[in-house]
Structure 1
Amino acid sequence: MTGSLEDILQPYVESKSLPGAVALVDRGDGSGPEVAVVGSADAAGGAPMVRDSIFRIASLTKPVIAAAVMALVEEGRFALVDPVAPWLPEIAEPVVVRTPASPVDDVVPAARPVTVADLLTFRAGWGFPADFSLPAVAPLFGELLQGPPQPQRVAAPDAWMAALARIPMLHQPGEAWLYNTCSDILGVLIARVAGCSLPEFLAERVFEPLGMTDTGFAVPAGQLGRFAHQYRTGPDGALELVDAPDGQWSSVPAFPSGGGGLVSTLDDYHRFARMLLEEGGPVLAPESVRLMTTDWLTPAQRAGAGLFLEGQGWGFGGSVDITPTDPWNVLGRYGWIGGTGTAAHIVPSTGAVTLLMTQLELTGPTPPERMRELWAYAAS
C-alpha cells in the first residue's frame, strides 16, 4: 500500500475534473477509518468541502430501502414469497410484452404474480435492460421519470403506481434482472404496508436507531450551507450545474424515491454500512443481512445485465462480487454506486468499508476511474 486516500482524489480536483470529494476507507483491521476531504462544495471554488457535507446519494438509497423491507419481513407483515398485489393492486394483473423487442401494445398476461422477492432481486419485470432502445423502456423515462433523480417533478405515489400499471413488463416475473424501477416500487410498498409515509418509516426504523441525523429526502433550510452543488460534465468537458442547494432537495417531494431520492453524509452512511457488518443491530436480524448480501442471480441473468453489473451478482439493493478478477474486486463485497457520483461497499468477510461522496454525475453505468482507484487502494 502506497500513498494516501487524499493522494488519489486530489489530482482530480487540481485538474478541475472534480469540484470536491469526501471519502472513507476502513479496512476492518482495527486501524480505524482513513478519511479524505478535498476540494470545494461548488465548482466556483467557494465553500470548502467538509467532512459532514451533505450529498445527493442517488442509488445508494437502494440498500437502505432493501433494509427497510427486511425490517417489515421480520415483523411478519409479509414474507419474501408473498405476492405484493394486496398492497399494490395496480400491478395485480400485469401484462408483459410478447418479446423484449415487441411494441408496447403486443402483450401477454404475466405468468404469475409479482412477489416481494421479485422486487428485492430486481426481477419483477420492470426496469432498465442493457439495451435502452427496446420499446417498453421509453415509458419508464417518459411516464415515470426514471433516470437521474428529479424529486420535485415526479407524481405522488398513487398517480405513479397508476402510470406504472399502464406500462407492460419487459420480462416475465423472475425471468431477468432489470435496473432501478423495483426500488421505487418497494418504496411505495413500504409506505402502504406500514401505514405511514416512506420518510417517516425510514426515520423511525433506520435513521434514528443508527444516529443518521443528516439523511432524508430533503435538506432542512438551516443545513443548506453544508449541501454540495450538483454537476454534470458538459459536451465541451466543462462542468454544468444540475442542482443548487436551494433546488430540488430543499423540500420533501411528493414522491420520495426509493430508487435514488436520499441525501446523506459520509459518516451517516458509514453508520449504515457498519450496521450491515455488525449483523444488523439495532435495525435487522443477522439472517436479514445475510439475505441482503447474497447473490440471487443465475449466470444468464448476470450476463444479461451487461455494463450495469459487469458480471457481478445482485443481492437485495446492491451488487455482490462473485468473481474477484480485478484488483478492486473482493469476493463477497456488497454495495452499489450512485449516478450522482457516490459509492458505498462493504466486505462482510473482513469488515472493510469504502465510501466515496462527490457531486459530479456519472456519464454511464460503468464506474469511473476515480472509483476504481479508490477500491484498488482499499484492497491493497
Structure 2
Amino acid sequence: MTGLREVLEPFVDSGALPGAVGLVARGGRVEVEAVGSADAEGSAPMVRDSVFRVASLTKPVIAAAVMMLAEEGRFALTDPVGPWLPELASPVVVRTPAGPVDDVVPATRPITVADLLTFRAGIGFPDDFTLPAVALLFTELKQGPPQPQQVPAPDAWMKALSRIPLLHQPGEAWLYNTCSDILGVLIARVSGSPLPVFLEERIFEPLGMADTGFSVPAADLGRFTWCYRAASGAGGAGLELVDAPDGQWSVPPAFPSGAGGLVSTVDDLYAFQRMLLAGGALEGERGRLLAEESVQRMTTDWLTPDQRAGAELFLEGQGWGFGGSVDVEVRAPWNVPGRYGWIGGTGTAAHITPSTGTVAILLTQVELAGPTPPPEAMQAFWRYAAGA
C-alpha cells in the first residue's frame, strides 16, 4: 500500500527537492514523514521538527489575529481602516489599470477591514504584473518573494504605501498579497503591541507553536532548512541557493511581514490547522481561540464569479475567504468544495477539509516557479491527502 513516504521520496530521488516534511491527518490517524535533507548537499537529514520559511502560510494566521480583535469589539469588519491607518484614509485610484500612476481619481468609498481580509482593498498583485501601478509594489514596498531584511519598518512602509494609487476601487477586484502586510500593521496599531508580540501571546503560546515566529533563534538554527530556487542557467538543471540558515531569518526583521514572514514546523502548523478544523476551539477543554462564527467567516468564499475569473493566475477558479483560498468547484482530484488553506511561494502548503476532517501540510524548501500551476510534488501530495 502506498504511503506518504512513497509519495514524497521520488521527488527527492529525482533531485527536484532536497527534502520535505509532510503531514496528513484524518480523524484520529496522523501520518507524518520527513524525507531527504535540509540542504541540497545532503549534509543534514530532514527531521520532523525541521524549521521552514512558510511564506504565505502566514496569511491565515494574520486573518485569525484580525478576527480576534474583531471579536473583542476593537473594530467591526465593516469599519473604515482610516482611524488606525491614516495613510489609507483618503486613497486615490488610477483612472484605468493600465494608465499612468499620476492619472488618478478619488476612491468612491473608504477601505474597510473586510476589504483587506478579502483582498479587495484595491491594492496588490493582479494577473498582469506589467501594469505601471504594480511596479511600485516591487520598488517601494518590496513585495514579492519574502526578503525580511530588505523591507523598512512599518511606519516608513505605510508612508510609502500612501504614495501608491489603488489599482481598482475598494471592493471591486481581488488582488494578491499586499492586504496581508497591511493587516499586520493594523493588528499592531489597534492592539498596541508589535505584531510578533501579539501573535506570540495570543496565538502561538496558546496553541503550543513554540517554533513559529519571524526569525529563528541562534540555538535553533541547526534545525532551520536551506531555501532554493530552480537554477536558471543553461538547461535549467539543479538548484541555486536563495537563503541559508544564517541568512535573512537569523535576526528579527524591521518589518514583520503579515503576508509571508513566518517560519514554522509541521507540528506547529498542525496545531493551528487543528484549531480551525475544530471551529476555533482549543484542545483539552481549554476554551476557544476563536468563535465558531469567526472561523466560518474565514473559511467562506467571499468573491463573486467575476472576481474569481479575474484572478485566474493565482486562484485557478478557487474562491477566497480570509487569509486563504476556498475550493468552490472540482477542477482537479484534490479539490473538495469547502477545502480551505493556501500555499507559500517557498514551496509550502497547508489546508483543512471540513467535510472529511482532513488536515494536509507539505513543507519543502524549493521556491515555486510562479503562482500556478502548483509543482508536481505538491499535486502528488494533494492527491494522496484527498485519497485520489
Shorter chain as denominator, the TM-score bin is over 0.9
Corresponding residue number in structure 2 for 1:271? 271
Asked if residue 226 in structure 1 is aligned to residue 232 in structure 2, the reply is: no
CA distance, structure 1, for counterparts of residue 381 and residue 130 of structure 2: 33
CA distance, structure 1, for counterparts of residue 231 and residue 132 of structure 2: 28
Q: CA deviation at 1:159?
A: 0.3
Q: CA deviation at 1:234?
A: 1.1
CA distance, structure 2, for counterparts of residue 250 and residue 217 of structure 1: 9
CA distance, structure 2, for counterparts of residue 95 and residue 307 of structure 1: 26
Tell me the TM-score normalized by structure 2.
Answer: 0.96
Output one character per residue of 1:302-321: Cα deviation in whole Å (capped at 9) or x when no partner. Answer: 00001200000000000000
Q: CA deviation at 1:325?
A: 2.9
Equivalent residue letter for 1:6: R
Q: CA deviation at 1:348?
A: 1.3
CA distance, structure 2, for counterparts of residue 306 and residue 266 of structure 1: 29
Q: CA deviation at 1:27?
A: 2.5
User: Is there any run of 5+ residues in structure 2 with no aligned partner, and where?
Assistant: 282-287
Corresponding residue number in structure 2 for 1:135? 132
Of 312, 316, 321, which aligns to 2:322?
Answer: 316
CA distance, structure 2, for counterparts of residue 134 and residue 186 of structure 1: 24
SS at structure 1 position matched to 2:20? strand
- For the aligned residue pairs, the C-alpha RMSD in angstroms reads 0.7
Output one character per residue of 1:44-99: Cα deviation in whole Å (capped at 9) or x when no partner. Answer: 10010000000000000000000000000000000000000000001100100001
Aligned 1:227-306 pairs, distance under 5 A:
227-235=224-232, 236-281=236-281, 282-306=288-312
Corresponding residue number in structure 1 for 2:284? none
Equivalent residue letter for 1:268: D
Asked if residue 335 in structure 1 is aligned to residue 338 in structure 2, the reply is: no
CA distance, structure 1, for counterparts of residue 13 and residue 385 of structure 2: 22
SS at structure 2 position matched to 1:17? coil
CA distance, structure 2, for counterparts of residue 144 and residue 325 of structure 1: 34
Corresponding residue number in structure 2 for 1:360? 366
CA distance, structure 2, for counterparts of residue 312 and residue 350 of structure 1: 19
Among the aligned pairs, what percent are the same residue? 74
CA distance, structure 2, for counterparts of residue 10 and residue 61 of structure 1: 27
Equivalent residue letter for 1:84: V
Corresponding residue number in structure 2 for 1:213? 210
CA contact (8 A) 1:27 1:378 kept: no
Output one character per residue of 1:283-342: Cα deviation in whole Å (capped at 9) or x when no partner. Answer: 101000000000000000000001200000000000000102321101100000000000
CA distance, structure 2, for counterparts of residue 252 and residue 118 of structure 1: 29
Output one character per residue of 1:339-365: Cα deviation in whole Å (capped at 9) or x when no partner. Answer: 000000001122101000011000000
CA distance, structure 1, for counterparts of residue 175 and residue 208 of structure 2: 33
User: Is there any run of 5+ residues in structure 1 with no aligned partner, and where?
Assistant: none
CA contact (8 A) 1:294 1:314 kept: yes
Asked if residue 147 in structure 1 is aligned to residue 144 in structure 2, the reply is: yes
Asked if residue 181 in structure 1 is aligned to residue 191 in structure 2, the reply is: no
SS at structure 2 position matched to 1:202? helix
State how many pairs are aligned.
377
Equivalent residue letter for 1:373: A
Corresponding residue number in structure 1 for 2:155? 158
SS at structure 1 position matched to 2:15? coil
Corresponding residue number in structure 1 for 2:384? 377
Equivalent residue letter for 1:286: E
CA distance, structure 1, for counterparts of residue 383 and residue 47 of structure 2: 24
SS at structure 2 position matched to 1:259? coil
Q: CA deviation at 1:188?
A: 0.2
CA distance, structure 2, for counterparts of residue 242 and residue 210 of structure 1: 30
CA contact (8 A) 1:118 1:173 kept: yes
